[in-house]
């Protein structure tokens, strides 16, 4: 009898080319696919060129321009920046020379890498996807194993189709129960990150399960898996189900017809066997989750929006106390302050975490018939050009524009501020992104992470705000 295995272990086993040690803890792992961007790939291609090596399987890679491009309506705006231009031009040259499909700035399917891949149907159940970006964990939403790699490993993958991989331990995070109104996938993962800590899942692959995960849309599941890396997980998986299969049904590059039939049969077995053991278990009650916001400079420094800022003096762990003091100093905040009293200068809806159509719809529902508070600069950057078009077809762009949001082109934008979308020093931003690190949105920028609906509510209120109170007042 074969041992019952977790979904993660099945994914690793089915991609093991050879074991590199006796126990199979280190393996040579076959990788199905990658997506390349303009800023972590250049040195990998230079490495290939210098060694005179070729790309093993060019069609297993696509490339996108997303991190450095301008998101101004005039897409060419940042071509004037010579450094950004050099990265985009070099990506173009590498794709031409090595035969890789490129979604450049003017391609109709351009967008953030982790939004574009699923939208094209390139992230499929059962795959291993490794890419030069930590949020590659997103693809776990399809029952595939996605994880981030550095530039040397991009080069290794391009040249060999494999990676030298160390097997992770298994953690199961079970989220059961009904999510309260106004609470979203983002709040689930923020609550998980808060509970586990910024390194709580380091060394683990996390399988998310439970009724609350099952009830999420595929887009919501992507949000959850995307941010699993913020608690250190280098892989997050959710077993595929009917929702997954129907999501893929109309995606342009997903299999069809007889191939799809065959794939579906294989995909049914992509689940953890009954009785398979995990190394760690976490249970979360969905009904107890409230809309979350961060108050510090690490994604685990978060709290329900109804709370006050915790007092570091009550922290018994010395290191954590110092970290919290430092974070509050950077954030310009005092312990005991009600989170809902924190005034903001900016509101940003974007990123691979929360800029898909469902996210924009959720924010638009809050913004309908309302205005951004005076003094707040608000912008929405759709996750892809496709999301942007679809939103426009639904009239969502009008709701944002009428409310006072800027409606921009697609890219990473203010998620990491590598282009000209930057939060000024000392400015405070309500943001639907994934990292509130010091300087992430600009030197001295103060970031509060939250769901897209919560960003919309904050934009209207001019301060952090419980979206549930806003929905109530609107109805009444």
Partner 1 sequence: MRAEPFTRKSGVMAALPAANIDTDVIMPKTFLKGIDRSGLDRGLFHDLRFDENENPRPDFVLNRPPWNEASFLVTGANFGCGSSREHAVWGLRQFGIGAIVAPSFAGIFFDNCARNGLLAIEASDSQVGILIEHAQAGVGEVTIDLETQTIATPERSFHFDIDERRKTMLLNGLDAVGMTLQWRDEIETFQSRYLADHDWLA
Site for partner 1 in 104-133 (CB under 8 A): 124, 126-127, 132-133
According to CB under 8 A, which one of 90, 107, 167, 308 is a site residue for partner 1?
90
What part of residues 124-143 is at the interface with ligand SF4 (CB under 6 A)? 133, 135
According to CB under 8 A, which one of 58, 177, 312, 439 is a site residue for partner 1?
439
Sign of the CA dihedral 322, 328, 329, 335?
A: negative
Estimate the crossing angle of helix 467-475 against helix 452-461, to 10 degrees.
70
According to CB under 8 A, which one of 32, 66, 119, 358 is a site residue for partner 1?
32
According to CB under 8 A, which one of 5, 75, 260, 290 is a site residue for partner 1?
260
Label residues 342-353 b or e (16+ Cβ within 10 Å = b): bebbbbbbbbbb
According to CB under 6 A, which one of 191, 416, 456, 467 is a site residue for ligand SF4?
416
Q: Which does 39 bind (CB under 5 to 8 A by kind): ligand SF4, partner 1, none?
A: partner 1
Query: Which residue number, 26 or 217, has a Cβ lying nearer to partner 1?
Result: 26
Q: DSSP for 67-136, please give it.
A: SSS--SSSTTGGGGSHHHHHHHHHHHHHHHHHT-EEE-TT-TT-B-HHHHHHHHT-S-TT-EEEESSGGG
Shortest approach of ligand SF4 to residue 242 CB, angstroms? 28
Shortest approach of partner 1 to residue 155 CB, angstroms? 6
| Pure H helices in 151-217 | 151-160, 185-196, 211-215
Under rule CB under 6 A, residue 397 binds ligand SF4 = no
Using DSSP bridges, classify how beta strands 346-349 and 302-304 pair: parallel, antiparallel or unpaired. Answer: unpaired
Stretch that binds partner 1, among 46-54, 100-108, 219-227, 272-280 (CB under 8 A): 46-54
What part of residues 266-305 is at the interface with ligand SF4 (CB under 6 A)? none
Q: Which does 151 bind (CB under 5 to 8 A by kind): partner 1, ligand SF4, none?
A: partner 1
Nearest to 45 by CA among 164, 129, 158: 158
Query: Which residue number, 357 or 412, has a Cβ lying nearer to ligand SF4?
Result: 412
Which residues share a beta bridge with 6? Answer: none
What part of residues 25-84 is at the interface with ligand SF4 (CB under 6 A)? 66-67
Q: Which does 351 bind (CB under 5 to 8 A by kind): ligand SF4, partner 1, none?
A: ligand SF4
Stretch that binds partner 1, among 100-108, 216-224, 317-325, 403-411 (CB under 8 A): 317-325
Q: Are 301 and 317 in contact (CB under 8 A)?
A: no
Q: Which does 150 bind (CB under 5 to 8 A by kind): partner 1, ligand SF4, none?
A: partner 1
What part of residues 220-239 is at the interface with partner 1 (CB under 8 A)? 232, 234
Q: Which does 357 bind (CB under 5 to 8 A by kind): partner 1, ligand SF4, none?
A: none
Under rule CB under 8 A, residue 424 binds partner 1 = no
Shortest approach of partner 1 to residue 18 CB, angstroms? 6
Query: Which residue number, 7 or 357, has a Cβ lying nearer to partner 1?
Result: 7
Q: Which does 259 bind (CB under 5 to 8 A by kind): partner 1, ligand SF4, none?
A: partner 1
The CA angle 143-148-154, to the nearest 5 degrees, is 115
Q: Are 131 and 125 in contact (CB under 8 A)?
A: no
Query: Which residue number, 260 or 280, has a Cβ lying nearer to partner 1?
Result: 260
Stretch that binds partner 1, among 4-12, 97-105, 153-161, 185-193 (CB under 8 A): 153-161
What part of residues 163-202 is at the interface with partner 1 (CB under 8 A)? 164, 166, 198-199, 202
CA distance 90 to 94: 6
CA distance 189 to 169: 20
Give 250-254's long-range contacts (Cβ < 8 A, gap of 24+): 251/118, 251/119, 251/120, 251/121, 252/120, 252/121, 253/120, 253/121, 253/122, 254/121, 254/124
Q: Which does 397 bind (CB under 5 to 8 A by kind): ligand SF4, partner 1, none?
A: none
CA distance 470 to 475: 9
Nearest to 243 by CA among 219, 277, 212: 219
The CA angle 153-156-159, to the nearest 5 degrees, is 150
Query: Which residue number, 170 or 432, has a Cβ lying nearer to ligand SF4?
Result: 432
3-state secondary structure of 393: helix
Q: Are 213 and 224 in contact (CB under 8 A)?
A: yes
- Interface residues with ligand SF4 (CB under 6 A)? 66-67, 112-114, 133, 135, 351-352, 412, 415-416, 434
């Amino acid at each position: 009898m074969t041992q019952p295995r977790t979904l993660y272990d099945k994914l690793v086993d089915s991609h093991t080319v050879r074991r590199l040690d006796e126990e199979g803890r280190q393996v040579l792992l076959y990788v199905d696919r990658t997506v390349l961007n303009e800023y972590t790939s250049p040195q990998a291609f230079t490495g290939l060129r210098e060694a005179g090596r070729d790309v093993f399987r060019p069609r297993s890679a696509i490339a996108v321009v997303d991190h450095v491009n301008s998101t101004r309506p005039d897409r060419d705006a940042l071509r004037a920046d010579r450094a950004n231009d050099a990265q985009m031009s070099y990506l173009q040259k590498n794709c031409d020379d090595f035969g890789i499909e490129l979604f450049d700035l003017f391609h109709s399917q351009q967008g953030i890498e982790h939004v574009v891949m699923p939208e094209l149907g390139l992230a499929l159940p059962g795959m291993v996807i490794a890419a030069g970006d930590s949020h590659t964990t997103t693809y776990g939403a399809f029952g595939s194993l996605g994880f981030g790699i550095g530039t040397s490993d991009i080069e290794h993958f391009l040249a060999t189709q494999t990676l030298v991989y160390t097997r992770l331990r298994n953690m199961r995070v079970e989220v059961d129960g009904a999510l309260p109104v106004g609470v979203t996938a983002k709040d689930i993962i923020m609550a998980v990150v808060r509970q586990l800590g910024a390194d709580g899942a380091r060394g683990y692959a996390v399988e998310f399960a439970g009724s609350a995960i099952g009830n999420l849309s595929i887009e919501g599941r992507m949000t959850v898996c995307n941010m699993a890396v913020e608690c250190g997980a280098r892989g997050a998986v959710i077993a595929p189900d009917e929702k997954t299969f129907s999501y893929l049904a109309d995606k342009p590059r997903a299999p069809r017809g007889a191939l799809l039939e065959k794939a579906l049969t294989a995909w049914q077995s992509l689940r953890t066997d009954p009785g398979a053991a995990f190394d760690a278990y976490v249970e979360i009650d969905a009904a107890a989750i409230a809309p979350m916001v961060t108050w510090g400079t690490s994604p685990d420094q978060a709290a329900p929006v109804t709370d006050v800022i915790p007092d570091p003096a009550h922290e018994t762990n010395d290191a954590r106390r110092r970290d919290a003091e430092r974070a509050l100093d950077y954030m310009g905040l005092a312990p005991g302050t009600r989170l809902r009293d924190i005034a903001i200068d900016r509101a940003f809806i974007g990123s691979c975490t929360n800029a898909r159509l469902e996210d924009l719809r959720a924010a638009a529902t809050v913004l309908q018939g309302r205005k951004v508070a005076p003094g707040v600069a608000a912008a929405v950057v759709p996750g892809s050009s496709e999301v942007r078009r679809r939103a426009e077809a639904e009239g969502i762009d009008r709701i944002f524009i009428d409310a006072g949001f800027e409606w921009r082109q697609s890219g990473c934008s203010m998620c990491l501020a590598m282009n000209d979308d930057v939060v000024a020093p000392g400015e405070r931003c309500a943001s639907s992104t994934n990292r509130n690190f010091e300087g992430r949105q600009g030197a001295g920028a103060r970031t509060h992470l939250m769901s897209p609906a919560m960003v919309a509510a904050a934009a209207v209120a001019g301060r952090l705000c419980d979206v549930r109170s806003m929905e109530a007042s609107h109805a009444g």
